[in-house]
Amino acid sequence: MAFFVEIHDGPLAFDLIDLLRIIEPEGGRLNWAIFELEALGQPKCGNLLDLEKAANESESGLPMSWQELKELAENLLQVIWGLFVAVRPGQPFPSKQPLSQLLPHTELLLRAFDSSHWAIYAREDFFLKRLKGKFRDIRSPGFND
């Protein structure tokens, strides 16, 4: 059963790299794309402003390998706004659309809101157990399948 939760452990209490570590190794078996990005840091993969522009202007996200995404996350100080989408290998990335229409086409979705909290959507329940073991303020906005 899929789930959708929000983590409100406080601003800057955790970031993208912490979420990626929780979803390892399964996250590495998926294809990833960045649909939105506003962040602070010095990524090794290039200029952050160029990366943000490419992700924000792409209709179906900026594809990244798991390793590239992890390296990016390790070099970001803070994700202010972000939308990271994962699909199964062989599946196309969906086009940008409202979240409710995007979810059926994704395996995992990680979304940062103004540095204040993250929303996570996943098809696999075991991710929820991992999140509950790591974070203290997990809320369900009533968006479950």
**pLDDT the model gives residue 12:** 63
Residue 5 to residue 39: CA distance in whole angstroms: 22
- pTM tops 0.95, yes or no: no
Using one digit for the tens of pLDDT, what is the confidence trace for 5-21? 778 776 667 889 999 99
d(CA 10, CA 129): 20
Q: Is 7 exposed, middle or buried (0-12, 13-18, 19+ CB in 10 A)?
A: buried
At residue 62, the pLDDT reads 95
So what's the pLDDT on residue 45? 74
Terminal CA-to-CA distance of the chain, rounded, Å?
7
